[in-house]
């Protein structure tokens, strides 16, 4: 029996902030020789790893949405005071 363990790192400063998450996963690849649909012997075996890196950045759209909402509330308040 072969045990494969995946590993990773998280270099973000805080949840939701910018940084990188890396995931590394080992893989074993077997090639069997078969005759007539019956597997007879192990022909080749190879090991490899694959790495997935995800980079995160804060979304500037959230800040723009908050600013436009506050500006809209400020405008409504001023219009109601002038009436």
| Domain ranges within the chain, ordered by starting residue | 7-82
Q: What's this model's pTM, rounded to 2 decimal places?
A: 0.40
For β-strands 19-35 and 38-56, DSSP reports them as antiparallel
As a whole number of angstroms, the distance between CA 62 and CA 80 comes to: 27
Residue in the block written with tokens 């001023």: 78
Residue in the block written with tokens 């649909």: 37
Q: Over the stretch 12-67, which tens digit does the pLDDT of each residue have? A: 776 666 788 888 888 777 777 766 666 666 667 777 888 888 777 767 777 788 88
């Amino acid at each position: 029996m072969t045990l494969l363990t995946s590993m990773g790192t998280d270099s973000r400063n805080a949840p939701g902030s910018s940084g990188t998450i890396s995931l590394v996963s080992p893989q074993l690849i077997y090639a069997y020789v078969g005759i007539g649909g019956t597997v007879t012997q192990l022909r080749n075996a190879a090991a490899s790893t694959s790495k997935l890196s995800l980079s995160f950045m804060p979304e500037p759209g959230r800040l723009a949405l908050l600013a436009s909402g506050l500006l809209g509330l400020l405008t409504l308040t001023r219009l109601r005071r002038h009436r």
